[in-house]
Amino acid sequence: MPVFSSSEQAQEVFRTLFEILLEDDVFLFRMTDSNLSLHLVQTKPDVEMFVSPDGVHDGPPPSRATIRIKMSCDTAHSLWKGELLMPMALGTGKVRIKGSVSKVMEFVPILQPAFDRYPEIIAARKIES
């Protein structure tokens, strides 16, 4: 059974995560300094968003993203809970990246504010994990 009951529920959770990250000065500086933007495509349920230093936008990107990351919502949930590490997810094909894998790996350590807050975000929405 999937973790998320709907696309809207998953979209709200992942949007909140990236909004938290964009409030972090280190994350925002690194995105801006590297001219980085993300096109996130998640499935089962379907969620698509674009993240840039300007904010989080639902749906397809308004312009070409630096990195496109595709995975299931359950895989994203496991990553944010810390149960699945990005190198393992990439190695097993659970996460697919178009663009610079090294840039993604460079940013994983600065995602900590969202990792720290993820349990509270899903608990507030009564999402069982």
91: domain CATH number?
3.30.1050.10
Query: Into how many domains does the chain fold?
Result: 1
pLDDT tens profile 55-87: 999 999 998 999 999 999 999 999 999 999 988
DSSP assignment letter at 119: H
Amino acid at 2: P
Sheet bearing 47-52, strands edge to edge: 55-58, 47-52, 38-43, 67-72, 96-98
Write down the pTM of the prediction: 0.91
Domain membership of residue 129 (yes or no) is no
- Contact (Cβ atoms closer than 8 angstroms) between residue 89 and residue 71: yes
pLDDT tens profile 3-56: 999 999 999 999 999 999 999 999 999 899 988 899 999 999 999 999 999 999
55: left (phi over 0), alpha (psi -120 to 50) or beta: left
